[in-house]
Amino acid sequence: MIEQSTGGDSQASRAGVLLAEDFDELDAPETWVARAGRRNSREKFAAGLRGLKHAIRGDSSFFAHAYRGILIGLTAALLGVNPWGWCLLVLGACLVLISELTHSAIDTLARAIGDPEDLRLRVAREIATAGVLVAAFGSGAVTITVLTMKFGELLGWWN
């Protein structure tokens, strides 16, 4: 909120409101420099691997997703799924893992901020959990479709 000053130390100035005459004090920096502390690709890759390690160690659901993923991969290999089917299965698995990583990050942040059962933090954690649920159902639908199509093709249900 900008107000015109009538001079002197007004009530607005004491309340923390910027007056039009105070804008002279807000000068831009003299020189613009690149942000310090930028990481190169190798450092970003290492940070990503460390984050993956923290997520896997901190959340048991990664084991469940890996177990199901291995079973789905073995089934797809035994049925001889075509390359497009493999692409869909891999994309579905990646979607689930990305949503699980996001959930783990939000859960870790909520625990670091304070009581994770605080209403606002619990709502954020539940929204992240809903993201995992949606991704898992979507991936499950893709998996069932790909494997059923291949199984039906092997049994001669459709040509």
The pLDDT profile of the chain, 159 residues, written as one tens digit per residue, is 444 445 555 554 455 555 555 555 555 556 665 665 788 889 999 999 998 898 888 888 888 888 899 999 999 999 999 999 999 999 999 999 999 999 999 999 998 988 888 889 999 999 999 999 999 999 999 999 999 999 999 998 876
- What is the pLDDT at residue 2? 46
Specify whether the CB–CB gap between 85 and 76 falls below 8 A: yes
User: What is the model's pTM?
Assistant: 0.70
> Rounded CA gap, 17 and 25, in Å?
14
C-alpha 146: how far from its chain's center? 26
Kindly list the structural domains of the chain, giving each domain's residue range(s) and its CATH number in brackets, ordered by start: 51-155 (1.10.287.3610)
Kind and range of the H or E run holding 91: helix 83-113
- Sign of the CA dihedral 62, 65, 68, 71? negative
